[in-house]
Amino acid sequence: MSIKPQAAVLLLSAALAVPAFSQDNWNGLRSLKPGQRIGVVQSDGKRVQGTFESFSDSAVTVRTDQVIAVPKDSVVRVYRRPRVGRGLRVVIGAGIGLAGGAVLNGTIGRYLRNEAHDTSPAVWIGAGAAVGAGLGAASGGGEHTVYRRRP
């Protein structure tokens, strides 16, 4: 049994469109817990970032330095903010990569130096730190959309 290319494209586009439409559900805010870090994007482009307090059929309440109730009509998107930011993930990844580079320098680097392939220890350690920092940056830390209003 073979699937025609047009049917495959139609099925794939339908499968990819389902998550986009499923976010237009105000009751999706039930997944948030009080005290969780969130952000709210309003229709005028302003952002409110703070901790989640509560929500009702008419508004979402966010605590910044004060408690703000953002009306549902002006909410375009609500997202969860990460607990650990990208910068801290880069630093942690670089530290782990630094340790990994030191281990590689002590093992493979020593072997290669004994075999007349003179590779500086700084290359192993620096490369390990760079790879670790890159993996730390790519490991997440992004926002997760909880609610998005359809245009």
| Domain CATH code at residue 23 | 2.30.30.100
Q: Show the beta-strand stretches assigned E in 16-57.
A: 37-42, 47-55
Q: Are 94 and 74 in contact (CB under 8 A)?
A: no
Average pLDDT in the 92-121 region? Answer: 86
Q: State yes or no: pLDDT of 105 exceeds 80.
A: yes
Residue 113 lies in a domain: yes
Average pLDDT in the 88-105 region? Answer: 89
Residue 101 lies in a domain: yes
The domain tally of the chain equals 2
Q: Which domain holds residue 107?
A: 86-138
Tell me how far CA of residue 68 lies from CA of 44, 75, 101, 131, in angstroms: 16, 13, 48, 42
pTM value > 0.75: no
- Each residue of 109-149: pLDDT tens digit? 888 888 877 778 888 889 899 998 888 888 876 778 899 98
